[in-house]
Amino acid sequence: MGGLNILQVSPQLHDAQWWEREAHDKVHCYLCPRHCHIGNGQAGFCFIRTNRDGKLYSLGYGAPAAIQIDPIEKKPLNHFLPGTAVFSMGTAGCNMGCFFCQNWDISKSRQDQVNARDVPAEQVPLLALRHGCDSLAFTYNEPTIWGEYVIDICNAARPYGLKTVMVTNGYITRDAFHDIYDHIDAANVDLKAFTENFYGKITLTHLQPVLDTLLLLKKETPVWFELTNLMIPTLNDDPGETRRLADWIFNNLGPDVPLHFTAFHPDFKLRDKPRTPPETLHRARQIALEAGLHFVYEGNIYSNAANTYCPGCGKVLVQRSWHSVEANRLKEGKCPGCSRPIPGVWSKREAARFVS
Ligand code: SF4
């Protein structure tokens, strides 16, 4: 990235957390529900956790493969510090195997195949502040698999008042969950579909662990979180499935968790499906609103459904064009028309209160 004085490096070994020894120099990684049993000299499914002589190491530590300044709306988060810039970074590898991955150049690479940079955890908040960011996002690939680096960056960021964001597939074990999320202020979680068939065949994982993570976020943390459902023609856009997904959110997470339906474009191993027609997103949004959800967005297309509307009086509260905020009419987190409180973290002052 231009302007950042950071060095290119080869992969370094960093002691990993969340593992145990097994017989014959094997190790068991229990960071994510894959529970890889890794032989000496081999790496787990995610590529960046490797067994050397019976010890597990993280390869992505201190070595991001992608760094960018993004609008927070791009994560997407529409109810968390709207209109602010977020220092966004990712490493190599992933613990899911999505055929439609839109960041496959890094998520499907080993750490030694990416153009990694040397960025110690303590340097990250300084870079973020220098670029006018209010928060840091762990994104682009799955941040769970580099949780050691995430935790150290969060600890380095706290004294500066920077907020922290996970953009995640939610595939994490309960054993590791609090170790990471106790440091996090906000998250966007992909709920990629609502069938085990899709998760099994298209992402090479399972649905239930993702739902379990959402329940943990709701019940055991103060983390502000929003959900994304990327709609892929014929694979997860059935109206009945959308209704079941929305009903589950309403019944388990409540009506105020924002849900983003986003448009797919052909990529990686899924090039035989067309782009998602805007009508599919409009229909999904209507279904979710009818199920009782209050904040349902459309993304990756130009749409009025990028705006935040008051669920009470229908007033446009935050007006957006693509990822940019054109107007923010909220008054201290309330609708200026009917005074209804709108759930979210609307200012840094509120963010401090929200996570206390
Ligand atoms: S984090 Fe990586 S090595 Fe660990 S269980 Fe998941 S996929 Fe396997």
Residue 30 CA to ligand 1 centre (angstroms): 7
Q: Which atom of ligand 1 is nearest to the CA of 44?
A: 3
Residue 146 CA to ligand 1 centre (angstroms): 10
Of 280, 270, 274, nearest to 229 by C-alpha is: 280
DSSP letters spanning 163-182: EEEEEE-----HHHHHHHHT
Residue range 7-27, pLDDT digits in tens: 455 557 899 999 999 999 999
Q: What pTM did the predictor assign?
A: 0.94
Residue 289 CA to ligand 1 centre (angstroms): 36
Q: Which atom of ligand 1 is nearest to the CA of 144?
A: 1
The Cα 170–Cα 151 span in angstroms is 16
Residue 275 CA to ligand 1 centre (angstroms): 31
**Residue 281 CA: distances (Å) to CA of 66, 109, 151, 244:** 29, 31, 36, 16
Residue range 96-121, pLDDT digits in tens: 998 888 787 777 667 676 778 899 99
Ligand 1: which residues within 6 Å by Cβ?
Answer: 29, 31-32, 34-36, 44-46, 49, 95, 145
Residue 222 CA to ligand 1 centre (angstroms): 26
Low-confidence ranges of the chain (pLDDT < 50): 1-5, 7, 352-356
Q: Which atom of ligand 1 is nearest to the CA of 49?
A: 3
Determine the distance from the C-alpha atom of residue 251 to the mean position of all C-alpha atoms in its chain, rounded to a whole number.
Answer: 22
Of 210, 22, 7, nearest to 98 by C-alpha is: 210
Please check whether residue 316 is in contact with residue 74, taking contact to mean a CB–CB distance below 8 angstroms.
no
